[in-house]
Structure formats: C-alpha cells, structure tokens
C-alpha cells in the first residue's frame, strides 16, 4: 500500500493535523496555518506569538501526538457556508484568510474533525487515523514566511515524516542519518572546497583552489566531448538591456526573479538569468545559409537569479548559477542527429561518474497554457518530435506532464545517488518559440528564408547544484581523476625527507596531483589527517622503503595505503605511477 503515492500523501497530511492538535494542546493560543504533505514528509506552520520553540521540544510534541492518537477514530467532514466558517475560525487569522479566498473562488468550504480538533481542510486523509498514523517522526524546526512572502509574518515550521509501516520509517530515518553524514555544506567546509561570506552575501559561494579544480576538471571533460561533436566556444556579457528579455519572453515570466540595474542615464539593465537570448544574437549577427547549419555554441558561465533568502540552501539553491550551457541552431531535419549527439555526450559523462540514468520526456500541461510561450499546436508538434526520436532509438522513457520549460519540451536525464535519492541531471530542450520571437532563419536550397529550431543542452546544468549532488554521492571521496589531491607522500621521520621529496617530485612530473606532508607529526596522525581529507592514496616512506630504494639503485619504492585503509604493500614508484595514471586516464569511478 505504501507504493501508492496518494495514500502516502494522505498519511502524511493526516499527520500534519495530528501535529497541529498536539501543538495547540501544549501551547494554547497558538494558531496553525497550513500543513501539506511534501516529498518525503509533511510540515505544519504555526504562529506561536512570542513563544520560541526549538528541536529540543520535538520529543515532547511527539509524545503528545502519540497520546492523542487512540482517540482519533475517523475524519468527519462537513461542508459549511462562508458565514459558518467565519464563526468557527474567528480566532485564527490564517484560516480566515484562506476561507475568504476559497469562497471568492467558489470553492467548497470543508471542515474535518478526527477527534476534538476542528480544522478547515479539503479531503485527502486516512480512514482510520488511530491505526494508520502510528509511524511518524518529527525532524526539524525552521522559519517560514506566511505564504512564502517575506512581507508577511515569519511563522514557525515544524517538519516531520510518516510512513505506513515501521520498517519503512526506520529505513527512511537511516537514509536521513546517512545524508547528514554526507551533507555537502559540512563536507565542503571540511575538505576546503568552498566557503560563504556574510560580506559577499547569502547564496553566493566562493570556491577555493580545490573546489575550483574539481569544477574545472568536470567542465573540461564536457568540453572535450562537445568539441568532438563540432561545438564552438562563445562568450557573452553578464548583463543586458531589458529589451532582450522582453523579446524572449523571460521578462514577462521571470521579472520578479531578475537582478535589475539602473544606469546613470536611466536605462534599465538586468543580470542575465540564462544565456539563450544572448546566444540568439550571435546567430542573428549574420545571414546564415543552410550550408552553415548546424551552428553549435557552448559556454560555461554564471547566471543570476534573485532567490528569496529563506529558500537558499548551501550549493543546492544559490543566487549565482554556473551553467555548462550549449545551444544548437539547426533545421528541423537536423533535430534527430543533434539530439543523438547530445545524448552521446550525456552518456559518456555520466558513465565516468558511475551515475545510472533514466529518461523523462518532460511535457507541457495543456490545462495551464498561460504558463508557456507558443500555441498548443506548436507544443504538440515539438513534443511529438522528441517522443518519436526516443521511440525510434529504443529509449526506455516515461512522460512527465507539466515538467517542460516554459518555451519548449525537454528530454531530461534522471539519476539517483548512492542513497537512492533521485536527481534531474542533464537536459536537452527543443525550442521552437525563441527562433520565432527573434526571427531566426537560414536561407534554404531554394533561396528562401526557412525558420530554424533551437536545442538547449546542459550536461551538469547548475554546476553548484551538481557539485552538491556529487559531494554527497561520494561522501567527499571523489574518484581519483577528480580528487584535488590524488596522492599524499608521507615520510615517517625527518631522515626520510630527501627520499620523500624525490617521490613527490616524480609524481608531480608525471602529472599526478601530489602533496608532500613534511609536518612534524606522528605517521599515524598524518595518515588519519589524509584519510579524513579523502585523499585516494598515501605513499608512506620509512626505513624499509629507503633500504629497498638504495639496494635497487634504479627504482624508488613506496608503501601504498588507500583512504579506505587498505594496505597495498611495498611497490616500485614506477608501478604505482602506472596504476594510478591508468585509473586517472580511464576515469575510473
């Protein structure tokens, strides 16, 4: 039954009601606002007035929830008039605001009461709460503006989760504990990959040399794959006149998310939230023959979005987003070949990271066409082209209604990390709207103007978000080819320093990223430090290694230990170099 998402949502939403009742019992006068089910759990928003609660209060709230549960036999629903609802909820300003909106929209007003707790709520609850709500856990406390608007009052949000069975709850809590150990915000600081500064601002990460190296290695690999497919690099400014985004449609759809700049002359500019409108102008800068197509532009650059402070989260949600962006300008007849080339790049990249992929065809929601550019016919045509392409090439895919970009359908690549969490990673999007808006065409074989199409392609998407996934997937223990430091050279004592320097020098000459640890610490302390820093290999040099190197004369010797604690024993430096270079060049994950 837990495979039924609707039922699972009902369990979690019902638990939110139980949470609200428990809190109101413990802190009389508290107002509950909304309590929806969400991915992996639920939350309930409260106005505690001047009272401050913390996660230390959660066990007490859980205890009260369990005490209440035996009396919750069933949810009893009643439709009420607006007048009656106003009377019932006259002391709760949040319910009053909601019911006025519901009444204005002509929606039914429903109350429910599972056991001495009347609430205003639509249907979507379990039938036997006392039996079906046994397996819940409260997780955290956070602040949240009422209705997500920073102009409104800050409420207290309590998060929880619930499952139909104790086994599922225990499994989920174990996954959460593993996720906490892998939290990229903690590991990123411990491993020295990135930092944040209050002076710079929230949501604006600063990348250290180590973190920048990983970003560069990933991006360089993608560029090498794109270069093979005929892509060319371009570069664009970080700001633009308002006019560009008005013409592209972004201003109408995303004006509130744009950072705006007023010039001294009174002109309105914006920090770019995406790159595609700029790239259209590179294509449009000269007349294009059909012989010139496809035009394939690639650029890794930052874009900027004015996210609300409360929604920012480490690298997962930031205000500056680095996109490994590419745009193909091509004829309709070239769509399949170009899409397959992108698909090939995606496969190669994610194979190197050992990320399994599945495919989602992301479609528009025909019920909400106001959210999209273009006509229903245009959308149907574009979606069918992608659907045909996937079927023709034997792809195992599923369709996602409402998952499209506002300007076109997408083929999204979905992966899961080592904890089983799903992530959308790469994407390619077929755009027939922007070429129309910017009048992009080529001169065809008959000397006539022919409308072209545009394919957007991002392999990592947001590099910041992708790095958060990568750090947590590997728990900071990156594959050797991605590790900022690949080998730590550890002399046991000062008398082994000269040999350690020679080993270090030869590793660096071979192109291996090696650090020499000459600190005056015990060898066990050094090993522990480099293990915590997730360095793939340690070359330990003591008397045995020095004697073997001296007796051989032609070879240096090291004892090799991995970050997992595996002792690979004594080996020649040349053999070790060959092994690690093979691992790096083949991008073994």
Q: Which of 323, 429, 486, 533 is catalytic?
A: 323
- Residue 407 vs residues 246, 275, 377, 414, 529: alpha-carbon distances, Å: 14, 14, 13, 21, 50
Q: Which of 21, 288, 305, 465 is catalytic?
A: 305
Task: List the structure tokens of 52.
Answer: 């401050």
Q: Which of 325, 412, 515, 517 is catalytic?
A: 325
Concatenate the DSSP letters of all residues of 444-485 into one string. Answer: -TTS-EEE-EEEEEEEEEEHHHHHHHHHHHHTT---TTT-S-
- Answer yes or no: is 456 a known binding residue: yes
Q: Which of 456, 473, 530, 563 is catalytic?
A: 456
The C-alpha R_g of the chain, in whole angstroms, comes to: 29
- Residue 290 vs residues 277, 287, 446: alpha-carbon distances, Å: 21, 10, 10
CA distance 523 to 22: 55
Q: What is the 3-state secondary structure (H, E, C) of 569-583?
A: EEEEHHHHHHHHHHH
Active site residue 276: yes
Active site residue 323: yes
The number of CA neighbours under 13 Å toward the Cβ of 288 is: 21
- Answer yes or no: is 172 a known binding residue: no
Question: E strands of 229-357, at which residues?
Answer: 232-233, 239-241, 260-262, 268-271, 295-304, 320-330
Active site residue 506: no
Q: Which of 12, 226, 327, 473 is catalytic?
A: 327
CA distance 162 to 429: 36
- Answer yes or no: is 327 a known binding residue: yes
Q: Which of 250, 410, 496, 587 is catalytic?
A: 410
Task: List the structure tokens of 22.
Answer: 């428990």
Active site residue 325: yes
Q: At what angle do helices 463-474 and 209-228 cross, to 10 degrees?
A: 110
- Phi/psi for 333 (5° steps) reads -70, -15
Count other Cβ atoms within 10 Å, centred on residue 326: 28
Q: Which of 276, 330, 442, 539 is catalytic?
A: 276
CA distance 532 to 187: 10
Active site residue 456: yes
CA distance 458 to 219: 11
Annotated binding site: 276, 327, 456
Annotated binding site for Zn(2+): 276, 327, 456
Residues marked as catalytic: 276, 305, 323, 325, 327, 410, 456
């Amino acid at each position: 039954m837990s495979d039924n998402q609707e039922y699972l949502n009902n369990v979690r939403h019902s638990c939110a009601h139980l949470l609200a009742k428990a809190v109101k019992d413990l802190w009389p006068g508290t107002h509950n606002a909304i309590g929806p089910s969400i991915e992996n759990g639920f939350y309930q928003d409260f106005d505690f007035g001047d009272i401050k609660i913390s996660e230390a209060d959660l066990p007490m709230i859980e205890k009260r929830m369990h005490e209440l549960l035996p009396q919750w036999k069933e949810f009893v629903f009643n439709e009420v008039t607006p007048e009656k609802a106003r009377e019932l909820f006259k002391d709760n300003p949040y319910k009053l605001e909601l019911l006025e909106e519901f009444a204005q929209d002509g929606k039914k007003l429903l109350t429910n009461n599972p056991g001495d707790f009347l609430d205003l709520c639509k249907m979507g609850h379990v039938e036997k709460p006392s039996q079906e709500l046994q397996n819940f856990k409260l997780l955290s406390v956070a602040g949240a503006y009422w209705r997500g608007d920073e102009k409104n009052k800050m409420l207290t949000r309590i998060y929880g989760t619930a499952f139909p069975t104790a086994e599922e709850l225990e499994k989920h809590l174990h996954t959460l504990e593993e996720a906490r150990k892998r939290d990229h915000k903690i590991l990123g600081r411990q491993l020295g990959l990135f930092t944040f500064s209050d002076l710079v601002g929230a949501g604006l990460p600063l990348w250290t040399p180590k973190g920048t190296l990983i970003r560069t290695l990933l991006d360089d690999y993608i560029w090498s794959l794109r270069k093979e497919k005929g892509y060319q690099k371009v570069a664009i400014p970080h700001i633009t006149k308002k006019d560009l985004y008005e013409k592209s449609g972004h201003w109408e759809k995303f004006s509130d998310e744009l950072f705006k700049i007023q010039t001294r002359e009174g002109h309105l500019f914006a920090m770019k939230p995406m790159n595609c409108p700029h790239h259209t102008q590179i294509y449009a800068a000269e007349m294009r023959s059909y012989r010139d197509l496809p035009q394939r532009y690639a650029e890794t650059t930052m874009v900027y979005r004015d996210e609300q402070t409360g929604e920012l989260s480490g690298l997962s949600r930031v205000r500056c987003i680095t996109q490994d962006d590419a745009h193909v300008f091509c004829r309709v007849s070239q769509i399949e070949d170009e899409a397959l080339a992108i698909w090939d790049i995606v496969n190669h990249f994610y194979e190197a990271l050992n990320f399994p992929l599945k495919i989602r065809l992301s479609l528009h929601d025909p019920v909400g066409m106001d959210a999209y550019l273009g006509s229903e016919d245009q959308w149907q045509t574009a979606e069918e082209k992608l659907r045909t392409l996937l079927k023709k090439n034997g792809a195992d895919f599923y369709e996602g209604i409402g998952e499209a970009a506002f300007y076109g359908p997408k083929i999204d690549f979905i992966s899961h990390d080592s904890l089983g969490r799903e992530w959308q990673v790469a994407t390619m999007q077929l755009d027939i709207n922007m070429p129309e808006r910017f009048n992009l065409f080529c001169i065809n074989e008959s000397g006539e103007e022919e409308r072209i199409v545009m394919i957007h392609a991002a392999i990592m998407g947001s590099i910041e978000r992708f790095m958060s996934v990568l750090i947590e997937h590997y728990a900071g223990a990156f594959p050797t080819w991605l590790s900022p430091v690949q080998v730590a050279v550890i002399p046991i004592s000062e008398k082994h320093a000269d040999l350690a320097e020679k080993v270090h020098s030869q590793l660096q000459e071979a192109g291996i990223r090696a650090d020499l640890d000459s600190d005056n610490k015990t060898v066990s302390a050094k090993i522990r430090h480099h293990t915590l820093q997730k360095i793939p290999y340690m070359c330990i040099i003591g008397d045995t290694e020095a004697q073997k190197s001296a007796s051989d004369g032609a070879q240096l010797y090291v004892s090799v230990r991995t970050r997992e604690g595996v002792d690979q024993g004594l080996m020649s430096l040349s053999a070790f170099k060959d092994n690690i270079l093979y691992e790096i060049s083949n991008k073994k994950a």
